[in-house]
Structure 1
Amino acid sequence: MKILYAVIIAVFSTNLAYAQSFDEKYTTASNVGLTVSNLGIIGNAFNGSFDLEGFPSCKYPKDSDIEHIFDGGLWVGAKINGVTDAVTTGALDASSGYSTGRAGFEFSAPVGSQLLEKSSLFDSPVFDPSAVSHQDFIADFADTAIIVPGTNTPILDHNDPLDISVHMESYNWNFPFADYFVILNFRITNIGNQNLEDVYIGYWTDCIVRNLSITNVGSSGFFSRGGNGYIDSLHMAYEFDADPNLSSFTSSYVSTKFLGATDKTGFRHPKLDTNFRSHYSTWQFNNSSDPLYFFPQDDFARYAKMSNGLNFLPQFQSQIIPNIRTPSNRTHLVSTGPYANLAPGDYIDVAFAIVLAKKANDGQPAPADTDEQKSILIQ
């Protein structure tokens, strides 16, 4: 009997260790309830912690039932030694989000890794004088493993790791003037022995703006009512509920915005260098047949999306923007580059923000997506 108990305890302890390789918390300081993981993934795909622990995916306001994000993750693309196009994706089109070894979820962390939390608030139980915001989440992960650490499970289709490590910090505040966004700050380091050239860094997001008190997760039409857009001057991709019948129950925007970056040449931003660009791509969820809005299924196609945005096509404003405002199930990617070559030991700091806002009521239907409707988002 003692041997049986010992075996049970050993198995239980081992399973706990495995479970801690993927850790999630959600933001509570601001008015955004956003789930963040220790692999740089945001949102919980209305799965896992959503069902088991009652975590929001991305609620705004946080005490409402209005969700805004299915999931999202960091993308890093480069030419290995100037030849091979390779892209590491932290998340991509998957109907149930992250699971161990699933293709497209290519970052991992050592067994026992956790998402750390600290706060600049003196009365917080996790107060730390080094904290940046009222609630920081901190994690370290990498793309070097091709088998999920602590398991025998391969990471599917993860054939060309860039050999990068990522230090992530997310920030949110409870100030009334800063409670509508979460900042995602990444330091990406080349820990391999190959040069990474023509580097592009982006953040991919699968947004879904729905009121769960009106529409149940997974119900008919739940995922196919999003309208999309991109504001070039702000380097911001956004989504809203374009359902003319139900949009009055949501009336909000969610967006992914590039803030800026630093590499060995200095601060990088499109406003400072015309050769450094912000690229916007959107596509039909998991659709491989649309000639323009297709889901990129391999590294070559993903690198092409990262380095050649729809916003540089001549028909972007006249045809693409009106088209993507209509209700559908799309994901979007905001990518930036090219960055200076990332030699072994070099790093790049890059920051994105998840920004949410109420939609201003101008009397126009939801799919109109007028400047007045976006006025709170862009102010």
Structure 2
Amino acid sequence: MIFSRVKSWHTLLWAGILLYASGTVFARDLHPFQLHKSTGQYPDIYNLYTSVGQLGMTVTNFGILGNGWNPIDGKIQPSCQYKQHTDILRENVEHFSFAGLWIGGIVNGQRRVSTSIVDGVFESGQEGFEFFANSDVTIRSSIASTSQDSMAQYYSPLAVSHQDFLMDFKDYGSTVSDNLGIPNHTPLGIDVHLESYAWNFSFADAFVILNYSITNASPDTIRDLYAGIWADASVANMNYTDIYTPGGGFTWYDNLDGFDRSVDAAGFTRDIAYQYDADGDDGWAESYIGITPLGGSVPRTHFQTHYQQWVWTNSNNTDYPEYSMPLVDDERYSKMSSDVPQGDPATGIYGNDGYPNQTNSWLFLVSAGPFGSIPAGPDSVHWRLPPGETCQVVFAVVAARWAGTSQDSPARRANLHINADWAQKAYDGEDKNRNNRLDPGEDINGDGVLNRFILPEPPPVPNMTVDVGDQEVTIYWQDNAENFIDPISREKDFEGYRIYGARKTVTDSMPEFTLLAEFDRIDPLHDVGYNTGFDAIRITNEQGQPDSVEIDGRYYQYKFVNRGVKNGWMNYYSVTAFDRGDPESNLASLESAVSANRVYVIPGVKASSVWTGTPTVYPNPYRGQATWDGYGNREQMIWFQNLPPRAEIRIFSLAGDLVDVLEHDEQYRGQDVENIPSQKNPRMSGGQHAWDLITRYDQATATGLYLFTVENLDTGEIKEGKFLIIK
């Protein structure tokens, strides 16, 4: 597989997708490079990304994170995108092209560093691409198999999170000394097992945890092992500065980096290496990307976190001499085991935090160590990893929106702190003091084992479906959330439901979802919610007893009808479940993810097997740039309604020339109209069909009166109509 990273002041050139006999090649310039040289036993897997939460990050089985913003199989997928599930385009931000694991250690007095990726390398087999796939990728999920969530197919009782990726890679070939011909690569002889974890909880959807287990497969002891994440970050919103289009405005050179040493509630420094777009791109890139070590096999009090940054491929930075790219393993190990010196703000080229304040194509390296399985001395300052033994290092990749729009500061990084703290809480689990021991009072579940990756859980996401009609949407959902047992309180603490719809404004200044209704249990013992009860939404039989309705083989116990919804407009709905919280554990009420079961709909007249009435068009007349139109000629549309289940629509000019032919059935999802995001699979009524005003000869239509016929393909009946276009 080949990716490329363009580092130039000039316009980005897109060379398309090239196919070679050796595999798939992706290129953005005239000098693509092969990212990974397979050992042949296992295929390179590079098309998986975390999809359950808001942080969509590509994870490969050869040590690299991200996809370089290269289309995968012709599709644009997240590299490190937050928020990936939002409909607010300003918040849909990418954060790095590539990141990757570095591991360094001392073997027989020699410093060795194995890297998954480095800057400035463009050819397969060159120094820097030094990890190789040693397994396929296994996917697991803790989302119950009874859920309608797509991750339920991967349910496993062994799963840690809502989406686990498990994989193995190594830094050697057929033997631990085989460097596969890579120049200057002396393998450490290590096997790496990676497990990545992601959740869809609203409080835990902004981070991905990377759990690395590093095994010494060589016959030599590795001393003072350090692990780090190299990140070629560049915070950008592709809806505003598009890297995929020549002249799209994307640049690598408007970013700044920093290292956050603020102290969390447990008294530990957060140690977050982070980057941000310096000016936020007029509100389109007001986001942080951060990477922080969470812990490992060495207690938190016994390892150090180190931070480095430099400009892409700049090994001799005259402005910032200490901020230069390392070229050889000895220099890389030095970077991993030390901090870049902070400068004097009085010079004018450093910020108040001591890091460069001049924007550039900065990248950073955050590392932690030393690690091992055995302390080398009584002071535990140095560690050894003997042959056959394993140590663990855990990092989190964290994203966050700015808290305000002032200059970078701890206050503006408040959301980054919150999200990083949740990642830390997830890793800590029962280990509240981070000493890697189960101390008195920490054994939450009473099993005598130190358990990690524990988060408070809201009730499960309700299974839901919708029925779309004429200016009306009916939402149905199951009661699957009501018997959930909280893993911390060990109680059934379900409290109620909230029904959400699309925001009621076209601006991005309002919340993405509008709360339509809330219903909760009548429970005088717990002062949560409004004690409304569920009578208004419960499905009942003729005797008024609780009942259910069957839809597509599933039974639903609740429904909510949203009336007065405009036909032809994209809307979306979701239902969440929330609990009553646990005051004794200082836990507030928790709610399932609002975007987890979001369903997109476009209301309209339903299709009927008995075709009555006359087919019509709306808006009629169509006046150029209708409110729902986009900016291009292909982003305009009108709707034909009152259609039978299967129909052929033929459109004619007033002179009788055939303009276009549309084939319709009840399963229509807008796939033939660019203005409808068919990838969101919007539910429709089945009785209407959109047209983008483009003729069958791929030309825009002109102002004029048009005639149309609709043929019922089941009966042969034909009806006629007309509409006016004014541009």
TM-score range, shorter chain: 0.7 to 0.9
Residue number in structure 2 paired with 1:47: 70
Structure 1 residue 53, shift from structure 2 partner = 3.0
Choose which of 293, 298, 302 in structure 1 pairs with 2:323: 293
State the match for 2:271 in structure 1. Answer: 235
Is 1:105 the counterpart of 2:129? The answer is yes
Q: Distance in 2 between matches of 1:84 and 1:171?
A: 34
Q: Can you list the C-alpha shifts for 1:144-202, whole angstroms capped at 9, x where unaligned? A: 1289xxxxx94532521000000000000001110000000000010000111122111
Summarize deviations over 1:266-313 as a string: whole Å, max 9, x none.
x422xx23xx31110001111011121111111011011011112xx3
Name which of 214, 218, 224 aligns with 2:253: 224
Q: Deviation of residue 317 (structure 1)?
A: 7.8
Contact 1:31/1:174 (<8 A) preserved: yes
Q: Is 2:415 the partner of 1:376?
A: yes
State the alpha-carbon separation in 2 of the partners of residues 179 and 167 from structure 1.
Answer: 23
- Alignment partner, residue 362 of structure 2: 330
Letter in 2 for 1:92: V
* Aligned residue number for residue 60 of structure 1: 82
State the partner residue of 1:210: 236
Contact 1:146 1:158 in 2 (8 A): no
Give the 3-state SS of the residue equivalent to 1:125 in structure 2.
Answer: helix
**Per-residue CA shift, 1:195-215, capped at 9, x if unaligned?**
111221111111111011111
**Paired residues of 2:342 and 2:354 also in contact (CA < 8 A):** no
**1:224, 1:327 within 8 Å by CA — same for their partners in 2?**
yes
The answer for the alignment partner of 2:335 in structure 1 is 305
Aligned counterpart in structure 2 of residue 134 of structure 1, from 151, 162, 167: 162
Q: How does 1:1-379 map to 2 (within 5 A)?
A: 21-24=43-46, 25-47=48-70, 49=72, 52-63=74-85, 64=89, 65-81=92-108, 83-94=109-120, 100-110=124-134, 113-123=135-145, 124-145=152-173, 154=180, 156-217=182-243, 222-232=251-261, 233-243=269-279, 246-262=281-297, 267-269=298-300, 272-273=301-302, 276-290=303-317, 291-310=321-340, 313=341, 315=343, 319=350, 321-339=353-371, 340-362=383-405, 364=406, 368-379=407-418
The structure number with the bigger radius of gyration is: 2
Q: Distance in 1 between matches of 2:308 and 2:124?
A: 27
Provide the rounded CA distance (Å) in 2 between the counterparts of 1:300 and 1:164.
18
**Distance across 2 between alignment mates of 1:342 and 1:118:** 30
Aligned AA (1:257)? T
Q: Which has the higher helix share?
A: 1
How has the CA–CA distance of structure 1 residues 129 and 43 changed in structure 2, closer, same or farther, with 3 Å as cutoff?
same
Partner of 2:603: none
1:333–1:146 CA distance, 2 compared to 1 (3 A) = farther
Q: Which amino acid aligns with 1:131?
A: A
- How much does 1:221 deviate? 5.8
Residues 135 and 79 (structure 1), Cα distance of their counterparts in 2 relative to 1, 3 Å cut: same
Using the size of structure 1 for normalisation, the TM-score is: 0.83
Q: How big is each residue's C-alpha offset from its partner over 1:86-107, in whole Å with a ceiling of 9 and x where there is no partner?
A: 10011221477xx743431210
Distance change in 2, residues 1:238/1:105 (3 Å) = same
Q: Is the 8 A contact 2:99 2:231 kept in 1?
A: yes
**Bigger shift: residues 172-181 or 287-296:** 287-296
Measure the CA separation in 2 of the matches of 1:350 and 1:137: 16
Q: Offset of 1:15 from its aligned partner?
A: 6.0
| Structure 2 contact 64–116 (Cα < 8 Å) conserved | yes
CA separation in 1, counterparts of 2:124 and 2:239?
A: 31
Deviations 1:226-251 (A, max 9, x none): 1111012211100111136x151111
Could you tell me how far 1:48 is from its partner in structure 2?
5.1
Distance 1:92 1:159, change over 3 A: closer
- SS of the residue corresponding to residue 348 of structure 1 reads strand
- The CA deviation at 1:134 is 0.3
Count of paired positions: 342
Q: Given that residues 258 and 355 in structure 2 are in contact (C-alpha distance below 8 angstroms), is that contact kept between their aligned partners in structure 1?
A: no
Deviation at 1:314, TM superposition (A): 6.1
Shift of 1:129: 1.0
Alpha-carbon separation, structure 2, partners of 1:372 and 1:349: 33
The answer for unaligned runs of 5 or more in structure 1 is 1-11, 148-152
How far 1:326 moved relative to its partner?
Answer: 3.3
Q: Is the 8 A contact 1:242 1:326 kept in 2?
A: no
In structure 2, runs of 5+ residues without a counterpart are 1-19, 25-37, 146-151, 262-268, 372-382, 419-727
Distance 1:94 1:22 in 2: 22
8 Å Cα contact 2:166-2:193 kept in structure 1: yes
CA distance in structure 2 between the aligned counterparts of 1:191 and 1:309, rounded to whole angstroms: 29
1:80 Cα offset (Å): 0.8
Secondary structure, in 3 states, of the residue corresponding to 1:349?
Answer: strand
Is the 8 Å Cα contact of residues 258 and 353 (structure 1) preserved in structure 2?
A: yes
Question: Alpha-carbon deviation of 1:315?
Answer: 3.9
Deviations 1:127-154 (A, max 9, x none): 111110000011001001289xxxxx94
Residue 305 of structure 1: SS of its match in structure 2?
A: helix
Evaluate the alpha carbon distance shift between residue 354 and residue 314 of structure 1 in structure 2; reply closer, same or farther with a 3 A threshold: closer
How many Å separate the matches in 2 of 1:229 and 1:155?
Answer: 37
Contact 2:121 2:128 in 1 (8 A): no
- Equivalent pair of 1:146/1:159 in contact (CA under 8 Å): no
Higher relative contact order (CA 8 A, sep 6+): 1
1:331 offset after TM fit, Å?
A: 1.1
Secondary structure of the residue aligned to 1:52 is: coil
RMSD: 2.7
Change (3 A) 1:254 1:95: farther
Q: Quick one: distance in 2 between partners of 1:13 and 1:277?
A: 46
Deviation string, structure 1 residues 54-100 (Cα, Å, up to 9, x no partner): 2111110003541111111111111112x11110011221477xx74
